[in-house]
Structure 1
Amino acid sequence: MFIRTALLGSAMAITALPALAQEVNVYTTRQAFLIEPVVEAFTEATGITVNLSYLESGLVERLTAEGDRSPADLVLTVDIANLQQVVDAGVLQPVESEVLEDAIPENLRSPDDLWFGLTSRARVVYAHKDRVADGEVTTYEDLADEKWRGRICTRPGVHNYNLALLAAVIAHHGEEAAREWAEGVKANLARVPEGNDRQQVRAVWAGECDIALANTYYMGAMLADEEQRQWAESARIVFPTFEDGGTHLNISGIGLTRAAPNRDEAIQFMEYMVSPEAQAIYAELNHEYPVLEGAERSELVASWGEPEFDTYDLTEIARLRGAALRIMEEVNFDG
Structure 2
Amino acid sequence: MTKLKSLAALLAASAALGNTAFAADTELNLYTARHYQTDEALYSNFTTRTGIKINRIEGKEEELLERIRNEGANSPADVFITVDAARLAAADQYGLFATVDSPSLKLAIPAHLRTDRWFAFSTRARVIVYNKLDVKADQVRNYEDLAKPDMKGKVCVRSGNHPYNLSLGSALIQHIGAAKTEEWARGLVANFARAPKGGDTDQIKAVGAGECGVALVNSYYLARMLKSTKPEDQKTVDRIGIVWPNQSSFGAHINISGGGMLKTAPHKEAAVKFLEYLASPEAQDYFANGNNEWPVVAGVKIANRGLDAMGKFKADTLPVGKLADSVIEAQKIYDRAGFR
- Mean Cα deviation higher: 51-60 or 189-198: 51-60
Q: Secondary structure at the match of 1:52?
A: strand
Structure 1 residues 175-201: Cα deviation after superposition (integer angstroms, max 9, x where no partner):
111111111111111011111111111
How far apart, CA to CA, are the structure 2 residues paired with 1:228 and 1:220?
Answer: 15
1:37 maps to 41
1:245 aligns with 2:254: no
1:181 maps to 184
How far apart, CA to CA, are the structure 1 residues paired with 2:104 and 2:73?
Answer: 27
Given candidates 138, 145, 149, the residue that maps to 2:148 is: 145
- Mean Cα deviation higher: 31-40 or 303-312: 31-40
1:316: how far off? 1.4
1:101 aligns with 2:106: yes
How far apart, CA to CA, are the structure 1 residues paired with 2:190 and 2:248?
Answer: 21
2:261 maps to 256
Structure 1 residues 232 and 72, CA, compared in 2 at 3 Å: closer, same or farther? farther
1:14 maps to none
2:87 maps to 82
Structure 1 residues 227 and 61, CA, compared in 2 at 3 Å: closer, same or farther? farther
Structure 1 residues 161-218: Cα deviation after superposition (integer angstroms, max 9, x where no partner):
1111111111111111111111111111101111111111121122210111010000
Aligned 8 A contact 1:123 1:215 in 2: yes
Identical columns (%): 39
1:38: how far off? 1.4
Q: Secondary structure at the match of 1:93?
A: coil
How far apart, CA to CA, are the structure 1 residues paired with 2:175 and 2:214?
Answer: 23
Given candidates 268, 271, 289, the residue that maps to 1:266 is: 271
How far apart, CA to CA, are the structure 2 residues paired with 1:194 and 1:272?
Answer: 37
Please tell me the residue identity of whatever aligns with 2:65. V
Q: RMSD across aligned C-alpha pairs, in angstroms?
A: 2.0
By percentage of residues, which structure has more strand?
Answer: 1
Given candidates 224, 228, 252, the residue that maps to 1:221 is: 224
1:191 maps to 194
Q: Secondary structure at the match of 2:139?
A: coil
How far apart, CA to CA, are the structure 2 residues paired with 1:237 and 1:70?
Answer: 45
Aligned 8 A contact 1:103 1:292 in 2: yes
Aligned 8 A contact 1:172 1:244 in 2: no
1:4 maps to none
1:130: how far off? 3.4
Given candidates 54, 59, 62, the residue that maps to 2:58 is: 54
1:323 aligns with 2:329: yes
Please tell me the residue identity of whatever aligns with 1:29. A
How far apart, CA to CA, are the structure 2 residues paired with 1:275 and 1:289?
Answer: 14
Structure 1 residues 289-332: Cα deviation after superposition (integer angstroms, max 9, x where no partner):
10001112223213322200111112112111111111111111
Aligned 8 A contact 1:92 1:114 in 2: yes
Q: How many residues align?
A: 316
Structure 1 residues 62-121: Cα deviation after superposition (integer angstroms, max 9, x where no partner):
0001112111110110001111111112111110111111111111111xx110000000
2:301 maps to 296
Structure 1 regions of 5+ residues with no counterpart? 1-6, 8-16
1:116 aligns with 2:119: yes
By percentage of residues, which structure has more helix?
Answer: 2
Given candidates 68, 78, 93, the residue that maps to 2:73 is: 68
